[in-house]
Amino acid sequence: MSCYLSNRPQLLHYAGRILGDTSQAEDIVQEAWVRCHEIHPEHPLNFLYRVIRNLALDTQRRMIREDQRFVRVGDEIMASVAADIPGLDTEIAARQELERVMEGFRDLPELTKQAIILYRFDGLKLREIAKILDLSIARVHGLVVEGMERCRVSSDPTE
């Protein structure tokens, strides 16, 4: 959709008018392009405007629901609330758990490590990993599940 780039400022302005927030407008326009870039409608610009409008209205409705669910408080009240920072004992326990997970991870076969890294840290889908590692999707799934379970078990001091 080459019309996206040439009309981006107008699309941002349109979304901004609906939302009243330019940073959210940026997100909405980007999301609309991601959703539409492989679709080739008869009138691509009209289609983009329609998708932006729908996304912006959905965002507004979600914000209204959130406002109704959550109480808004002033800065003075928020300043008096204790910070959500874990205590030293919590931090030590978390570090120990991480060390146990890493120890379990180091003991995994190399192929399992690669599958977990590609899946959990690189965010690839199983079929993408299967192509990279030249394995079946079922095999990759098995590697990831088995490896994650072994890491989980190694992190649990009771097992």
Residue 27 sits in a domain whose CATH number is 1.10.1740
pTM: 0.44
Which region holds residue 39: left if phi is over 0, alpha if psi is between -120 and 50, else beta? beta
Using CA atoms, how far apart are residues 112 and 117, in angstroms rounded to an integer?
A: 9
**pLDDT for 13 beyond 80:** yes
pLDDT of 154: 80
| Full residue range of the structural domain in which residue 127 is found | 88-155
Are residues 63 and 113 both part of a single domain? Answer: no
Q: Stretch 148-153: mean pLDDT, rounded?
A: 85
Using CA atoms, how far apart are residues 41 and 36, in angstroms rounded to an integer?
A: 9
Angle at 28 between CA 23 and CA 29, to 5 degrees: 100
Cβ-contact 113, 105 below 8 angstroms = yes
**pLDDT for 76 beyond 90:** no
Among 17, 39, 69, the domain boundary falls at: 69
Q: How many structural domains compose the chain?
A: 2
Among 35, 69, 103, the domain boundary falls at: 69
pLDDT of 134: 94
Each residue's pLDDT tens digit, 99-127: 888 888 888 999 999 999 999 888 899 99
Each residue's pLDDT tens digit, 18-72: 888 888 888 888 888 888 877 878 888 888 899 989 999 998 888 888 777 776 6
Which stretches of the chain are DSSP H helices?
2-19, 22-36, 44-69, 75-80, 88-106, 110-116, 126-133, 137-155
Are residues 6 and 62 both part of a single domain? Answer: yes
In a domain, 30, yes or no: yes
In a domain, 82, yes or no: no
Are residues 97 and 150 both part of a single domain? Answer: yes
Angle at 134 between CA 128 and CA 137, to 5 degrees: 55
Q: How far is CA 137 from CA 85, 93, 109, 143, in A?
A: 41, 36, 18, 10
Are residues 151 and 93 both part of a single domain? Answer: yes
